[in-house]
């Protein structure tokens, strides 16, 4: 299956993700967050700064490869069927997260606010993606975002799935 996905995408350029991540200290009211979408996310493989994950969000499933660390990373995402995602799910044992994602408008930007469940219950993070590094640099996060953890390895979703919440603030 993976080889088929790779062949289908091999002529497409690799996308670049420019994203900042924050640990939320003052969670907005439910009326601000909205309904959200439950996401189950598991990691199939990790080596160095490369990770492969499967994500099931509602009736949509994806297989994603991310490479790099920090503000700017390479990202390739392939849509897979729910059956394919469920077939891969057992291989993520011990490397999973469960969260509800809310999209909150912040002027020209949109924050994806993730409220974690399970072993990570009580953790809330906000991620904001940007079209370029200049927009990222000019972004003034609202006070409720809390401390920034962009590029801090122990706060990546892959590390949270494998190790749980870091014991210290900077991991």
- Contact between 18 and 72 under an 8 Å Cβ cutoff? The reply is yes
For residue 125, give every residue at least 6 positions away whose Cβ sits within 8 Å of its Cβ, in sequence order, or none.
21, 22, 23, 24, 113, 114, 116, 149, 155
Asked about 91 being catalytic, the answer comes back as no
If 0-12 CB within 10 Å is exposed, 13-18 middle and 19+ buried, where does residue 53 land?
buried
Q: Annotated catalytic residue: which of 20, 33, 43, 114? A: 43
Q: What 3 state SS string does 120-142 have?
A: HCCCEEEEEEECCHHHHHHCCCC
Active site residues per annotation: 43
């Amino acid at each position: 299956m993976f080889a088929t996905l790779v062949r289908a995408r091999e002529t497409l350029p690799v996308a670049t993700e420019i994203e900042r991540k924050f640990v939320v200290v003052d969670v907005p009211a439910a009326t601000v967050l909205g309904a959200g979408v439950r996401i189950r996310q598991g990691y199939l493989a990790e080596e160095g700064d490369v990770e492969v994950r499967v994500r099931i969000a509602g009736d949509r499933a994806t297989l994603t490869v991310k490479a790099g660390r920090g503000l700017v990373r390479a990202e390739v995402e392939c849509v897979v069927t729910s059956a394919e995602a469920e077939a891969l799910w057992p291989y993520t044992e011990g490397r999973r997260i469960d969260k509800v994602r809310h999209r909150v408008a912040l002027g020209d930007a949109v924050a994806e606010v993730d409220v974690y469940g399970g072993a990570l219950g009580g953790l809330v993070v906000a991620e904001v993606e940007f079209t370029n590094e200049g927009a990222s640099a000019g972004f003034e996060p609202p006070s409720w975002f809390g401390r920034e953890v962009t590029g801090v390895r122990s706060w990546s979703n892959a590390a949270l799935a494998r190790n749980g919440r870091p014991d210290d603030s900077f991991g």
